[in-house]
Structure 1
Amino acid sequence: MITTLAIIGILVIAILAFTNLYPSFGGNSTKSQKVGYEQSQQFKEDKFRNVKPVPEDLAFSDKLSLAYTFFTTKVPNGRPKADLIPQKIDSISIANYSGEARMIWFGHSSFLLQIDGKNILIDPMFGAVAAPHPLLGEKRFNKEFPIAIEQLPQIDAVIFSHDHYDHLDYESVLKIKDKTNHFYTPLGVGNHLTAWGVSESKITEMDWWQETQFGNLKFVCTPAQHFSGRGLNNAQSTLWSSWVITSENENIFFSGDSGYADHFKEIGEKYGPFDLALMECGQYNQMWSDIHMMPEETAQAGIDVKAKKIMPIHWAGFKLALHEWTDPIKRVEAKATELNLQVIAPQIGQEIIVKDSVTTYPNWWQNI
């Protein structure tokens, strides 16, 4: 009994030391910052909240049961048979680009947006695993990227949607922080960046429906129905969001992570129509459908925001749910056809012209 208790004690101490000292867990809000967050309608009783009371606070036993189910369930075709090979893009062609607004997908929810002469990264997650440590998660589907991160040119702005590991990555921030002019995040997420050495002067935190001007571009922090947290005791300590990016000629929506809810219609009515909507479609399950859309809901959300076309994202990057890796794209395309909504599904690294309405993309994911 004494030996068992000693082992348990050592494990508890090790876990606490890991979660409190390992840098990838990021930073926490101060008391004075929380006082400021109280001005937000989303911040109540020391936590950020959705408009609807979701997600439910699961008991510890429920969390263990869910984790056990995830790690012990074998999913046929849960990963590609081989690594996804991206189309390559030359660093010079990026640095010298002066054409109309375009995007380059890095897989999952990460993009380079070149618009109005600016280079903007959206949820730049270039890590090998979506976890605080390389040993705690499955490898991403693509080992290579369209361009080595070190070869990216100066980045004018980085936009983050929330602080989960598959969107905000410690090692990625270290690689880009010195070549990035400014970071835009929902409330509280900036604390992770400052913990990793980013100057506070380079960070702008925003609440839902707040707008800011970035040169000739307008950034709007818009709602999402999701949650946050990187450690054992900081759930809902930072806000989550979607984003609107508007130039003189283009209008783009980025959903971040979200369950299906009324906010999509609100965003569409206030800021639509959109030339392109990047819509979450992947890592879903009926058990957590309140915080991740099912593919059919993704298509409907595209209609709600008044998108001329949508691109499914949050798939083809990581195995974070129990569905086949191609299930998201097949189901969203089927529903979009029913709704008469255009869907584009480019290969990782393939150029996406924001206002292009004629380019067709092959079903590159078949037989992989």
Structure 2
Amino acid sequence: MKWNLHFKRKQAENKPKKSKTREWADALLFAVVASTIIRGLLFSAYAIPSASMEGSLLTGDYLFVSKFNYGPRMPITPISLPFLEPTIGSVKTYWNGLQFPYYRLPGLSHPKKGDVIVFNLPSDSINKPVDMKTSYIKRCQAEPGDVLTIVNTQVYINGKAAPNAPKAQTSYLVTTDGQQINPQVMHDLHIEIYQQLTDNDFIMIIPVDSYKEFKSYSIIKNIKPYMDPAGQFDAGIFPHNALYKWNNDNFGPLTLPKKGWKVKLNDSTVALYSRAIQNYEGNKLSHVGKAYYINGTKADTYTFKQNYYWMMGDNRHNSEDSRVWGYVPEENIVGKAMITWMSIDSTENLFNKVRWNRILKKIE
């Protein structure tokens, strides 16, 4: 027995040692594999590039997004360069010659109303694979099967007023006495001039925390909410059809498609659901006379194959969201935004760039 142990020890001692280069290569390979698994199945980091979620999330916030909350989505486009955006300029960093079908592992829950969610933009180029489309972040307002209505900026779900985000922002019509407003005041109160109507009248986006102080300034003569009136048709608003005279602030009612839900096909429903039927569920929808055809077969109804969600920014009058491009298919959902791990204010000087009060802040 002793001789056998000695032999094994000597055999191990004779094994050539790895070179420093090999050790570094192995360590780098392990790091890439481990980080790819973590990024693909557990968490990803995202940055907020625009103001559509202010004041809940600020431009310059860096987030951790949980993928296991809703179940990790398996790669649809498996061949791509890791840690890079899908396109750099006009150059693709992926190869779409190999595509897997959509599949999601079980998660802790499903997307719910009020969740802040990262998803792939449905209206991005139809030629892009789903998982290579631009990433957006918004708050979920409606789930599959819900009936959504917006009345004078207030969202209603199934006839009940939906809770507004604590720091949701909207627009106000502001009338001044004609004096110029101090730019430093606007900066400190995070107020944005959205449009100037006259010398004295402005449309401004005012954070909830700044409203009272701003209204107290002597040059402010009047502030009242600004909104599009009911019945005013906005061609830029979903479904972009004059059958529905909807706008940003008065919208619906609209039923969110649900997997297994059967809808009757007519001019009214096709205007609402044709994009989902064709672009997201891969069918050819045609109209001959009074009849509708799905993939060449006459059809009176259509049954949806997946669930759909409605996403809106908390900065309601400065957000391109579902009111513009409609539903978000379940397969486009990436994960739930959980924590702000860093926040940089590019408008501040070097010593004030970091928003320390937002470090490791839970997203609500």
TM-score by length of 1: 0.21
- Normalized per residue, the structure richer in strand is 2
- Normalized per residue, the structure richer in helix is 1
Between structure 1 and structure 2, the one with the greater Rg is 2
